[in-house]
Amino acid sequence: MDGVREKILDAAGRVFAERGYKSATIRQICQAAEVNVAAVNYYFGDKQQLYLDTVKQAHRRLSAQFPLPPWPEETPPANKLNGFIRAMLARMIGGKATPWEQQLMLREVLHPTNACRELVEEYFRPHLELLLSIVSELLPHGTAAHRQRQVAFSIIGQCLFYRIAGDIVDMLSATDQRQHFTIEQLAEHITRFSLAAISGTSDFDDRDNRARQPTSVS
Amino acid sequence: MDGVREKILDAAGRVFAERGYKSATIRQICQAAEVNVAAVNYYFGDKQQLYLDTVKQAHRRLSAQFPLPPWPEETPPANKLNGFIRAMLARMIGGKATPWEQQLMLREVLHPTNACRELVEEYFRPHLELLLSIVSELLPHGTAAHRQRQVAFSIIGQCLFYRIAGDIVDMLSATDQRQHFTIEQLAEHITRFSLAAISGTSDFDDRDNRARQPTSVS
DNA sequence: ACTTGTTTTAAACAGTTGTTTGAAACGTTT
DNA sequence: AAACGTTTCAAACAACTGTTTAAAACAAGT
């Protein structure tokens, strides 16, 4: 639509997300943006700088598109958790073709580059803090901070899995079971699984080592 | 050491694991293997075929190094689960520098290539089946198959997370909390978390929708 | 020693990569 | 219109890519 700079940024986002930094070529990007090859170097200096600006733009767009949800104060924490999980799953595996912004961010998670630090502070950390606040409401008052983090990571891990290993899950599952892996079904399961885990583990709290022989495994 | 073919395969494994298929160059591989550039094409035909053979070798080595554990028949399922989780975590984030075999497999999970199908059938599926057998012992008799799979994926997801997002976890955690993210601690947490979840969720079984208003979230 | 088949090698090939260049095209200001 | 800074463009550049080649080195078998 508008300026050349914006056209390049948009095309670069899609190409970088699909092919990665190294595999994406400036010529592909410029062809997608319908501009001359020299435009990238003219507006961004070099490929590296274009990539950094692209990642920044991705995080800016995502933050605008998925703002941290303002729940009413009296919302039960269990419902907040369900909403959080649902939103996370929808963001990651929803909308058929995953938006390139998400793909780019995921690439940074897997293989952090220079663009990563800013992403962590301005995007991941706020979301983690929100989840931690929900978890702290569900766990017994005074639960150790690292416990809360472990629980939060367990929840995130369950959601991330289907984003990461979605293709493998498909290959591993019979076609007649695939209907049970919709966003709705998964959000339902992960919420229940995590809530049960939270109310179950909270009992032991700090009485460590309960009925557990070290089971050496090959 | 021995034959040229083996030297190339070994070097290729390390280079492919570190840089990915596209970024890894034949010249890098041959330099690491201390052989001529033409050797790859002479022994393997082309780069693609070398990659396929490399992945095959990775899965062969891993299968040999981490055979499926033969527990005594009477081992309590909870202990089996603990052992499984511990082994999975150790394989993924143990041993300081992750062996290139694991890195290569993970790359296939994230971006499946032609080499993936064989991996799924000969490596991932057997491990999933083992976990499913453990889970089925822990869940109430007659639990639906897709439920068992969801539980299994929740467990795998928790473990995989620290492999996938390890760098981000480090950035997100204060230095004084990092001591709580050892393999031992994590295995302990994930085992407890999952066991509690399993014994908790089994109650509701098939009585769906329990006290849950659809919490729309931005 | 000669032949035969296999392996190794340096050099070259054709194609792609990021980047540069120098001249045109454009839009404003004088 | 002339002059100016900015933007666009086709072409070229040097470096790197996977792959091929043709000659040399090697290791038997005769």
Query: What is residue A24's DSSP assignment?
Result: -
Using C1' positions and the CA of B23, the closest nucleotide is D17
> What average pLDDT score do residues B25-47 get?
97
> What average pLDDT score do residues A148-163 get?
96
**Most confident listed range (B44-48, B63-67, B74-78, B182-186):** B44-48
What angle do the packed helices A125-138 and A145-164 form, to 10 degrees?
A: 120
Cβ of residue A196 lies below 7 Å from strand C: no
B97-153 pLDDT tens trace: 668 999 999 999 988 888 888 889 989 999 999 999 999 999 999 899 999 999 999
Gyration radius of chain B's alpha carbons: 21
Distance CA A191, CA A205 (A): 21
State percent of chain A over pLDDT 70: 89
Cβ of residue B38 lies below 7 Å from strand C: yes
Q: Band the pLDDT of B46: cuts 50, 70, 90.
A: very high
State the nearest Cα–Cα gap between A3 and chain B, in angstroms: 31
> pLDDT value at position A208?
43
| Nearest Cα residue to A194 out of A82, A73, A95, A40 | A82
Position B132, amino acid: L
> pLDDT value at position B150?
96
The residue with tokens 């467990």 is: B155
Position B50, amino acid: L
Q: Angle at Cα A160 formed by Cα A155 and Cα A161, nearest 5°?
A: 100
Distance CA A90, CA A48 (A): 31
| Continuous segment of H or E residues that includes residue B120 | none
Q: Band the pLDDT of A202: cuts 50, 70, 90.
A: low
Task: Supply the pTM of this predicted model.
Answer: 0.88
B158-193 pLDDT tens trace: 999 999 998 899 999 888 888 888 999 999 999 999
> What average pLDDT score do residues A189-201 get?
93
A34-59 pLDDT tens trace: 999 999 999 999 999 999 999 999 98
Say if the Cβ atoms of A124 and B177 lie within 8 Å: no
Say if the Cβ atoms of A194 and B192 lie within 8 Å: no
Answer whether B154's CB lies under 8 Å from B196's CB: no
Q: Which two tokens stand for residue B16?
A: 């492919």
Cβ of residue A24 lies below 7 Å from strand C: yes
Q: Which two tokens stand for residue B155?
A: 């467990």
Q: Which two tokens stand for residue B71?
A: 């527990």
Q: Band the pLDDT of B14: cuts 50, 70, 90.
A: very high
Q: Which residues in A lie closer than 8 A to residue B75 (C-beta atoms)?
A: 215
Q: Angle at Cα B54 formed by Cα B52 and Cα B59, nearest 5°?
A: 100
A55-87 pLDDT tens trace: 999 989 988 887 777 888 888 999 999 999 999
> pLDDT value at position A69?
77
CA distance between the termini of chain A: 60
Distance CA A83, CA A150 (A): 20
Gyration radius of chain A's alpha carbons: 21
DSSP assignment of B37-106 equals: THHHHHHHSSHHHHHHHHHHHHHHHHHHHSPPP---TT--HHHHHHHHHHHHHHHHH-SSSPPHHHHHHH
> pLDDT value at position A214?
47
> pLDDT value at position B114?
82
Answer whether A13's CB lies under 8 Å from A57's CB: yes
Nearest to A157 among B124, B161, B196 (CB): B161
Helix ranges (H only) for A100-144 are 100-110, 116-119, 125-138
Say if the Cβ atoms of B212 and A80 lie within 8 Å: no
Q: Within its chain, how far is the Cα of A43 from the centroid?
A: 30
